[in-house]
Amino acid sequence: MPELTRLSNDDTVDDVITALERDGGVVIEGFLHAESLAGLRDDLLPLLERKAEGRDRFAGLQTRRLGALFAHTRHCAAIATHPLYLPAAQHFLCRPRDVWVGDRRRPMAADVRIGVTQAIQIGPGQAAQPLHRDDTVFLWRHPTGGHEGRVQVICAVTDFTAENGGTLVIPGSHLWDDERQPQTSETIPTVMKAGSALIFLGSTFHAGGANVTAHEWRAAASLALDASNVRQEENMYLALEREVVASYPEEIQRLLGWSAGANHMGWVEVDGQMIDPIHLLRGLDGATLRGVGAHGHEPAAA
């Protein structure tokens, strides 16, 4: 079984890009400085412990999730701008495409945005998550022809082992088409120390691993950099006050972007669940908000 390449902060962005192009994923040992790791642990673990477990197989019935990480810790900034992560993500996400503007044909490139932040804590008894590609939220097609929509990083906040839920990855699966079904037998677990990180392309099949330990909770801080073209052109969330949006019929509210749709793009975390933001316009309290499942791979758990 092919292993993922293991690099460190002494290696170069080119080494990261080479590994990602070949395997779709790479481990960076010692990715976080000690201060960032300690900060993430102190800021996120107490919050995760107060979250309810997920309500469907994808979110994980023994898994706790926390979103909006930039509101909860200052230490995500160092992840997003890490010198081995951001430039590597830009390499995959910002490839120019030739477009016509009037009588001139010229290259135009997207830049990058932070598309999702999530702390994920996998508890004892959690089964392996269904294998998936994270660019499924964009309904991205494969092979990508070199144009990726997302580059993800999962930082180990506690040690990742094959037993406690270390992320399962299928090396090389970023090159597969959309017909080939991923098999558990093709996966390798990501084993790494707290402070190390797994970087992978949005087109790489992966899943949270099963946690077969008796007492260990595996914690991660994950973040995705996305191509900036996969969003609304006008920033409706800044342009329109929430009360204005709430005054329109639901159809308009969803069209304005207050919707997570069948692919669950645009969820917001409430009480550990990734919910459709339309519920926030209805003024429901957290207890009555219905879980919508993670990333749209599972129907809502009614």
- State the residues that interact with ligand AKG by CB under 6 A: 120, 129, 134, 154, 167, 206-208, 220, 294-295
Residue 69 CA to residue 77 CA, distance in Å, equals 10
Residue 178 CA to residue 136 CA, distance in Å, equals 11
Residue 167 contact, options ligand AKG, Fe ion, none, Cβ 5-8 Å cut-off depending on partner type: ligand AKG
Residue 164 CA to residue 189 CA, distance in Å, equals 10
Strand partners, 99: 106
Q: Quick one: which segment of 16-24, 132-140, 214-222, 280-288 binds Fe ion (CB under 5 A)?
A: 132-140
Q: Give the contact letters, 86-125, x = binds to Fe ion (CB under 5 A), - = no.
A: ----------------------------------------
Q: How far is the CB of 77 from ligand AKG (least distance, A)?
A: 21
DSSP state of 197: E
Asked whether the bond before 249 is cis by omega within 30 degrees of 0, the reply is no
Residue 65 CA to residue 121 CA, distance in Å, equals 6
Residue with tokens 């699966």: 173
Residue 89 contact, options ligand AKG, Fe ion, none, Cβ 5-8 Å cut-off depending on partner type: none
Q: How far is the CB of 280 from ligand AKG (least distance, A)?
A: 22
166, 120 in Cβ contact below 8 A? no
Q: How far is the CB of 251 from Fe ion (least distance, A)?
A: 31
* Options 43, 134, 148, 298; binder of Fe ion; rule CB under 5 A: 134
Q: How far is the CB of 165 from ligand AKG (least distance, A)?
A: 6
Q: How far is the CB of 244 from Fe ion (least distance, A)?
A: 34
Is 20 exposed, middle or buried, given 0-12, 13-18 or 19+ CB atoms closer than 10 A? buried
**Which residue lies nearer to Fe ion by CB, 64 or 279?**
64
**Which residue lies nearer to ligand AKG by CB, 56 or 134?**
134
φ, ψ (nearest 5 deg) of residue 185? -65, -15
Is 18 exposed, middle or buried, given 0-12, 13-18 or 19+ CB atoms closer than 10 A? middle
Residue 190 CA to residue 168 CA, distance in Å, equals 6
**Which residue lies nearer to ligand AKG by CB, 260 or 281?**
260
Q: How far is the CB of 260 from Fe ion (least distance, A)?
A: 16
Residue 176 CA to residue 158 CA, distance in Å, equals 31
**Which residue lies nearer to ligand AKG by CB, 51 or 254?**
51
3-state secondary structure of 296: coil
Residue 274 CA to residue 277 CA, distance in Å, equals 9
Q: How far is the CB of 65 from ligand AKG (least distance, A)?
A: 8
Size of the site for Fe ion (CB under 5 A): 1
Q: How far is the CB of 141 from ligand AKG (least distance, A)?
A: 19
Q: Quick one: which segment of 17-25, 127-135, 234-242, 285-293 binds Fe ion (CB under 5 A)?
A: 127-135
**Which residue lies nearer to ligand AKG by CB, 64 or 254?**
64
Residue 79 contact, options ligand AKG, Fe ion, none, Cβ 5-8 Å cut-off depending on partner type: none
20, 12 in Cβ contact below 8 A? no
**Which residue lies nearer to ligand AKG by CB, 206 or 279?**
206
**Which residue lies nearer to ligand AKG by CB, 54 or 277?**
54
Contacts within 8 Å (CB) and 24+ apart, 6-10:
7/84, 9/83, 9/84
Interacting residue ranges for Fe ion, rule: CB under 5 A = 134
